[in-house]
Amino acid sequence: MSNERIRTYEGIFLFPQSATANLQEAADHVKSILDRCGATIVSFRKWDDRRLAYEVQGNKRGVYFLAYFTAPTSALVEIERRCNLSEELLRMMITSAEHIPAEIIEANEGQEDLATEIKLRGEKSTESGSKSASKVSRKSKTEQIKTAEPEATDEPSDAEENSPKPTKEVSTEA
pLDDT in tens, 65-123: 999 999 999 999 999 999 999 999 999 999 999 999 989 888 888 888 888 888 888 88
Q: Whole-structure pTM over 0.85, yes or no? A: no
Residue 12: Cβ within 10 Å count: 15
Alpha helices for the chain (secondary structure H): 23-36, 75-85, 102-107, 111-135, 141-148, 158-162
Instruction: Give me the residue spans of the domains in the chain.
Output: 6-127
Q: Domain 6-127 has what CATH class?
A: alpha beta
